[in-house]
Amino acid sequence: MTDSQVIINGGGPVGLGLAIDLALKGVESIVLERTTELHRIPKGQNLTQRTGEHFRAWGIADQVRAATPIPPEFGNAGLVTYGRLLSDCHYDWFQRSRVRPYYFADNERLPQCNLEGVLRDRVAGLPQVAFVQGAEVTGVTQDGAGVRVSYEANGANHAVEAAYAVGCDGARSVTRDAGGIRNEIDHEGPRMALLVFRSMELHDLLERFPGKSIFNVMHPAMDGYWQFLGRVDLNGGWFFHAPVPDGATRDSFDFRGFLHKMAGVEFALEFEHIGFWDLRISHARTYRNDRVFIAGDACHSHPPYGGYGVNTGLEDARNLGWKLDATLKGWAGARLLDSYTAERHPVFRSVSRDFISRMIEDFRGFTQEFSPERDKASFDKAWAARANADDSDVTEFLPHYSGSPIVLGEPGGQSGAKGKHGFDAKPGHHLAPQALPGAVDLWDALGPGFTLMDLRGDNVLSTEFASAAESLGVPFKVLTLRSRALRKAYGCNAILVRPDQFIAWVGSSAGSDTKSILARAIGQ
């Protein structure tokens, strides 16, 4: 007899998000969280519109917005400067608003501890979730019947059993190691400092850049690595990441002078936290070993460059949630759970290669080739080209599953995180919103399971899909729209949408074997 259906080790945003996702589908879970209080060190703040969709799906969008210390009207865009923070040489950067039309929600900016508070409140109202704090996991074992997780809490040893276990327990994941999943380091960089401080004087100095929340100071001495400053709130709260000498300690290094040098001016400040971390990019070889799964930083760990970490982890939770639900309820195919690794692994590989590593190499290459001291004219020309370039770190960040084994796309498709935003419907890609007749919100019109969007009123196709879903036991909804405008926008006659709002198939009734299409989409 099991204690729950799923054990989740780690009660951070990814673990709590997964628990909520499962609970809303009726799946019970136990969340084991090592700490008893929220971490107050700000991190994981730059959240995408896609993450905003997760909040909408989990019923916490309004609560997240209320917990945000930087109001949306202020703006959440960034700035890159050269040499020093207050340099006249700068350009706009990370303007997530550019891709807002392609999503059903807004992006948000709030410290991870604020988000965790909202998630904990949501979990407290869900009877399907048991949230255990102060639980230190000591072992994970499995057999053909289920998983057993041992942990210590309140000075006593405990054990719980479930059908599946998911490690959302960070870069040093106990679940990953105990579950026999190998982790590999792809890149190692310098020792980094994280400084959290308060300074209204710095806030006043940066009013010259209205609406900016994050600042990246490009400097040749950093060898491509970032001096990264971000607002925590509008009351003088800041965080700052930067490389420091290997032997630097809180007492031996002049962090106040370091910040003043970075800014190019002295300003009053009060430190709230000085910490250190080692810059590295690591990636698990697989995200599953039979009944044990990992998600979030347990799968993929990297420096906080671009806010990809928590966004990627929350997408892990949405991807895995519906697949565990389908398996536990008996309508999943034998290969559905394997598709979790098949879809999510290449996405982070692309995040690492096409975004994080590329940005480090880009900064390094630019500062090595161009210098205002050596050749001002060449530097100015190259800097102007950067300033006028598309904000590709935002506009090209498009996680997709084009090469997924459960998606019916073009032959030879490859999954990844880089793409071009658009409204056309592509298998393996996220469904972009469109206005529906009668001011109906498409998001609310989609079903909780699979949805067939019939854009032509094709009764034959709709009937055959509904029949196939019934025979396979798949929760299914037909959404008949009959709209020439929608057919033009999406570039097709019909769209099969998965529970996570990704597209499994596009087409028409001509030559469509609906049962085979749906069977493949659920891993048969």
Q: DSSP strand E in 374-434: where?
A: 397-400, 416-418
CA 129 – CA 314 distance, rounded (Å): 18
CA distance 226 to 193: 11
* Number of residues written out for the chain: 524
DSSP per-residue letters across 272-331: EEEEEEEEEEEEES-SEETTEEE-GGGTEE--SSTTHHHHHHHHHHHHHHHHHHHHHHT-
Token readout for 336 is 């559905």
E-state strands within 342-449? 397-400, 416-418
Q: How far apart are the first and last CA of the chain?
A: 28
pLDDT for residue 40: 84
Output the six-digit token pair for 296.
Answer: 């979030």
Long-range contacts of 144-152 (CB under 8 A, 24+ apart): 146/2, 146/291, 147/7, 147/291, 147/292, 149/7, 149/9, 149/32, 151/32
Q: What is the DSSP letter of 439?
A: G
Long-range contact pairs involving 173-177 (C-beta distance under 8 Å, separation at least 24): 173/9, 173/10, 173/294, 173/297, 173/298, 174/9, 174/137, 174/138, 174/140, 175/9, 175/10, 175/137, 175/140, 175/292, 175/294, 175/298, 176/284, 176/294, 176/298, 176/299
CA quadruple 124, 130, 131, 136: dihedral, nearest 10: 180
d(CA 333, CA 323): 10
Instruction: Report the pLDDT value the prediction gives residue 1, as an integer from 0 to 100.
Output: 58
CB atoms within 10 A of CB 249: 11
The pLDDT score that the predictor gives to residue 272 is 96
Beta partners for residue 160, in sequence order: 149
Q: Which distant-in-sequence residues (6+ apart) come within 8 Å of 58 by Cβ? A: 17, 20, 21, 24, 122
Residue bearing tokens 């590329």: 358
**What pLDDT, on the 0 to 100 scale, is given for residue 177?**
96
CA 134, distance to chain mean position in Å, is 26
pLDDT of residue 293: 98
Is residue 266 within 8 A of residue 260, CB to CB? The reply is: yes
DSSP string covering 183-236, please? EEEEEEEEEEEEEEEE-HHHHHHGGGSTTEEEEEEE-GGGTT--EEEEES-SSS
Run of H or E residues at 259: helix 255-263
pLDDT given for residue 138 in this prediction: 97
pLDDT at 6: 98
Paired tokens of 420: 């071009």
Q: pLDDT 10s digit of each residue in the chain, 524 long? A: 589 999 999 999 999 999 999 999 999 999 999 999 998 888 888 999 999 999 999 999 999 999 999 988 887 789 999 999 999 999 999 998 999 999 999 999 999 999 999 999 999 999 999 999 999 999 999 999 999 999 999 999 999 999 999 999 999 999 999 999 999 998 888 999 999 999 999 999 999 999 999 999 999 999 999 999 999 999 999 999 999 999 899 999 999 999 999 999 999 999 999 999 999 999 999 999 999 999 999 999 998 888 899 999 999 999 999 999 999 999 999 999 999 999 999 999 999 999 999 999 999 999 999 999 999 999 999 999 999 998 888 999 999 999 999 999 989 999 999 999 999 999 999 999 999 988 889 999 999 999 999 999 999 999 999 999 999 999 999 999 999 999 999 999 999 999 999 999 999 888 789 999 999 999 99
| CA distances from residue 7 to 12, 37, 502 in whole angstroms, order as listed | 14, 21, 26
CB 167 within 8 Å of CB 293: yes
pLDDT (0 to 100) of residue 45 = 87
**What per-residue string of b and e applies to 433-445 under the rule 16 or more CB within 10 Å gives b?**
bbebeeeeebeee
Contact 509, 460 (CB under 8 A): yes
**What token pair was written down for 507?**
């087409």
Question: Are the CB atoms for 329 and 215 separated by under 8 Å?
Answer: no
Quote the DSSP letter at residue 160: E
DSSP run (H or E) holding 450 = strand 450-454
> Which two three-digit tokens encode residue 305?
């460059």
DSSP assignment, residue 354?
I
Q: What is the CA radius of gyration of the chain?
A: 24
Angle between helices 514-521 and 459-472 (to 10 degrees): 50
Residue whose token pair is 């026999």? 180
